[in-house]
Amino acid sequence: MHEQTPATPADAPSAQGPTLFDWEFATDPYPAYAWLREHAPVHRTRLPSGVEAWLVTRYADARQALADQRLSKNPAHHAEPAHAKGKTGIPGERKAELMTHLLNIDPPDHTRLRRLVSKAFTPRRVAEFTPRVQELTDHLIDGFAERGEADLIHEFAFPLPIYAICEMLGVPREDQDDFRDWAGMMIRHGGGPRGGVARSVKQMRTYLGELIHRKRDDPGNDLISDLIRASDHGDHLTEAEATAMAFILLFAGFETTVNLIGNGVHSLFMNPGQRARLQTSLAAGERGLLETGVEELLRYDGPVELATWRFATEPLTLAGQRVAAGDPVLVVLAAADRDPARFAEPDTLDLARTDNQHLGYGHGIHYCLGAPLARLEGQTALATLLTRLPDLELAVPAEELRWRGGLIMRGLRTLPVRFTPR
């Protein structure tokens, strides 16, 4: 078992180390992360699922671990049988046909799939999508603008990424509400009862499989058709691989973006001076502060608290700590991105921050494939909200907000707001 540096009561939540994964931690994990960074930067802990894992919390170590090829993404490397029984909460981990997705594989398989998907999911395709994201954003705001109040999570942050990625993939409009419902089930019960979630995953997978089959005969100007067409030296995605790819694009791009918007608006509410600066700059037709600002919001309170699972393929040493082969390693992006050794005044939100190589999108070969789309959605959502509803404010005391206690993701359950009706 890992030995922690003894801590003084003055600087520690407790001499044993902070309590992780309880209600208080879900609300504000940053004091616990500060303690870990200082006293136990590679810290073995028991997760709520019962699985034991190492948490890596310093920026330099986190960045190194994310790029370390000895840390595999393939759950087959996990020593603990609990994982094989599907207790980790990794969605779809027991579904062999979805196991081939990017976040569960290593080179050379990862290199091959990432190369093929990158030919279809290009920054250019995302750039061409800009006007449509603006339309979707405006349409959602139209839905509540006259009411003077809304729950920004359910009425805005949640549907926007689902509709956006559905449209980009080529899911017909009339079927997009099904995705909304399936995704809703996954987000509501992500860490809870699995029956409904398993059914939703299955329905989504079946639907995507059929859609891919149809698009093979009748391609269109959409991402799924491009995924089917994509080729690299004569190599193509199989239908099963294209299905897994479409699924991971939906899955990886959905709750993350919901929380980028939700956490982002929340951080702006909590930092009125920064928010005012952003509104002034938007009113002047500038985009610079919006662009650095969305990156800063990702660093300051990003949606991905922990990078997805990694497993040691051999015994190794991380920041002086011995890690056995088969041990799971969780890189805590949210802790690394507040490391004072890397960021000046890390607990301060500074939308104009430029030296901001945060790890919110990960690092290395698994670096977020959807970052250009996430940036587009995040920037469009925040700019449009603040411009169309300039006096937007929290409708409940901040202490009443509830955070989802998930493991990988950090986000609000609801975000009630009010504003002058438009």
Q: Could you tell me the smallest distance in angstroms from the CB atom of residue 306 to ligand HEM?
A: 8
Nearer to ligand HEM, 191 or 372 (CB): 372
Phi, psi of 52 (to 5 degrees): -95, 140
- Determine if 78 is a binding residue for ligand HEM (CB under 6 A): no
CB of 112 to ligand HEM, least distance (A): 11
Q: Which residue, 17 or 29, is less far from ligand HEM as judged by CB?
A: 29
Under the binding rule (CB under 6 A), the answer on residue 409 touching ligand HEM is no
Residue 117 in contact with residue 111, Cβ under 8 Å?
Answer: no
Cβ 103 to ligand HEM, closest distance in Å? 5
Cβ-based nearer residue to ligand HEM, 205 or 366? 366
Between 197 and 236, how does the x/- string for binding to ligand HEM read (CB under 6 A)? ----------------------------------------
- Report the nearest approach of ligand HEM to the CB of residue 146 (Å): 29
C-beta closer to ligand HEM: residue 197 or 223: 223
Site for ligand HEM contains 361 (CB under 6 A): yes
249 lines the binding site for ligand HEM (CB under 6 A): yes
Which residues inside 21-40 make contact with ligand HEM, applying CB under 6 A? none
What would the 3-class secondary structure string for the chain be?
Answer: CCCCCCCCCCCCCCCCCCCCCCHHHHHCCHHHHHHHHHHCCEEEEECCCCCEEEEECCHHHHHHHHCCCCEECCHHHCCCHHHHCCCCCCCCCCCHHHCCCHHHCCCCHHHHHHHHHHHHCCHHHHHHCHHHHHHHHHHHHHHHHCCCEEEHHHHHHCHHHHHHHHHHHCCCHHHHHHHHHHHHHHHHHCCCCCHHHHHHHHHHHHHHHHHHHHHHHCCCCCHHHHHHHCEECCEECCHHHHHHHHHHHHHHHHHHHHHHHHHHHHHHHHCHHHHHHHHHHHHCCCCHHHHHHHHHHHHHHCCECCCCCEEECCCEEECCEEECCCCEEEECHHHHCCCCCCCCCCCCCCCCCCCCCCCCCCCHHHCCCCHHHHHHHHHHHHHHHHHHCCCCEECCCHHHCCECCCCCECCECCCEEECCCC
For ligand HEM, give the closer residue by CB, 66 or 150: 66
Cβ atoms of 103 and 308 closer than 8 Å: yes
What x/- string results for residues 310 through 349 when contact with ligand HEM is judged by CB under 6 A? Answer: ----------------------------------------
- Which segment (48-56, 207-215, 281-289, 361-369) binds ligand HEM by CB under 6 A? 361-369
Contact with ligand HEM (CB under 6 A) among 136, 150, 307, 386:
307
In the bound state with ligand HEM, the residue whose beta carbon lies nearer, of 278 and 359, is 359
Q: At what angle do helices 239-270 and 109-120 cross, to 10 degrees?
A: 70
Q: Which of 20, 102, 290, 323 is the binder for ligand HEM (CB under 6 A)?
A: 102
List the one residue from 18, 75, 209, 253 that touches ligand HEM (CB under 6 A). 253
Q: Which is nearer to ligand HEM, 327 or 419 (CB)?
A: 327
Q: What's the rounded Cα separation, in Å, for the pair 270 and 331?
A: 27
Residue 260 as a binder of ligand HEM (CB under 6 A): the answer is yes
| Residue tagged 């980009």 (tokens) | 168
Shortest Cβ contact with ligand HEM: which residue?
A: 370
Binding part of the chain for ligand HEM, among 14-22, 90-98, 144-152, 295-303 by CB under 6 A, reads 295-303
Q: Please choose, out of 47-55, 144-152, 200-208, 359-367, the segment that lies near ligand HEM by the rule CB under 6 A.
A: 359-367
The whole-angstrom separation of Cα 422 and Cα 420 is 6
When binding is defined by CB under 6 A, the residue of 44, 87, 112, 114 that contacts ligand HEM is 114
Contact residues toward ligand HEM (CB under 6 A) are 66, 102-103, 114, 165, 248-249, 252-253, 256-257, 260, 298, 302-304, 307-308, 360-362, 366, 368-370, 373-374
